[in-house]
């Protein structure tokens, strides 16, 4: 009997107007796709899933974004309750409108967030929707039961206060061994900011923050997840800064592994 293929949709969000330091991540969705399909790697995830034959992978292209407020309705056009989605950013500000759209189909879920930064500022440089703020806006929606942030290594006093306010579970990079105790049982959304990785593995990001995660740590943890994953995003690749396509290759690898576990 033939196996029913899971449908996974890819949506690019080419937007970086909320970046606080350096632009360039708007170029990332196409660069990730190019690297994913360039033949330098095959289409098998490490768990044995053949992305070409076991998965109905549908690339819906890039949404059109003239202003930030366009992102949510443009995403919403493509969403449905029973399909999985992986979003390719873009700066991390795009995660908020993505979650705001997803909540119409999933009334409650958890978020697993890999990053060097907590992105919990109430506002940053006068902008409540900066890429430094998305998880404050997300927690205000009231649909996320549990936000777990992994790899954080830039916590300010304000960010610690915000984490306490929203009851965020933060596994700072200095305490990364605690990830072995981390488990999820409810529906889960995964957000991966590539600057969560050490710059040695991900030089193609706008914010280099040494002392970060290794790809092996993240991939191994993703494969241990035992819950329903409703969607994911990969954000903050800056192709302008990428050396020899190293970070794009990491993003493509993460896309392949996410497809495998989804």
Reading the chain (262 residues) residue by residue, the pLDDT tens digits are 456 788 999 999 999 999 999 999 999 999 999 999 999 999 999 999 999 999 999 999 999 999 999 999 999 999 988 889 999 999 999 999 999 999 999 989 999 999 999 999 999 999 999 999 999 999 999 999 999 999 999 999 999 999 999 999 999 999 999 999 999 999 999 999 999 999 999 999 999 999 999 999 999 999 999 999 999 999 999 999 998 999 999 999 999 999 999 9
- CA–CA distance, 103 with 81 (Å, rounded to integer): 10
- Domains, in order of start, for the chain: 6-261 (3.40.800.10)
- CA–CA distance, 129 with 146 (Å, rounded to integer): 21
Report yes or no on whether pTM surpasses 0.95: yes
pLDDT given for residue 3 in this prediction: 60
pLDDT tens for 86-120 read 999 999 999 999 999 999 999 899 999 999 999 99
pLDDT tens for 39-78 read 999 999 999 999 999 999 999 999 999 999 999 999 999 9
Tokens of 206: 């706008």
């Amino acid at each position: 009997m033939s196996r029913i293929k899971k449908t996974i949709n890819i949506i690019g969000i080419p937007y970086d107007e909320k970046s606080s330091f350096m632009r360039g991540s708007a170029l990332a969705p196409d660069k990730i796709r190019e690297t994913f399909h360039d033949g330098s790697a095959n289409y098998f995830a490490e768990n044995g899933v053949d992305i070409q034959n076991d998965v109905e992978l549908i690339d819906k292209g890039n949404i059109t974004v003239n202003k930030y407020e366009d992102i949510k309705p443009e995403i919403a056009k493509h969403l449905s309750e029973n399909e999985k989605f992986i979003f390719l950013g873009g700066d991390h500000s795009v995660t908020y409108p993505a979650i705001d759209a997803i909540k119409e189909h999933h009334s409650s879920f958890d978020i697993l967030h890999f990053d060097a930064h907590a992105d919990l500022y109430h506002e940053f440089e006068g902008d409540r929707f900066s890429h430094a703020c998305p998880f404050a806006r997300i927690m205000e929606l009231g649909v996320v039961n549990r936000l777990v942030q992994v790899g954080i290594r830039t916590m300010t006093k304000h960010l610690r206060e915000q984490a306490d306010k929203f009851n965020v579970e933060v596994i700072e990079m200095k305490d990364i061994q605690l990830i072995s105790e981390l488990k999820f049982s409810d529906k889960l959304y995964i957000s991966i900011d590539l600057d969560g990785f050490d710059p040695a593995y991900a030089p193609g990001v706008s914010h280099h923050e040494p002392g970060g995660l290794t790809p092996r740590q993240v991939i191994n943890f993703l494969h241990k997840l035992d819950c329903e994953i409703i969607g994911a995003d990969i954000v903050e690749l800056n192709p302008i800064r990428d050396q020899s396509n190293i970070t794009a290759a990491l993003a493509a690898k993460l896309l392949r592994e996410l497809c495998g576990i989804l």
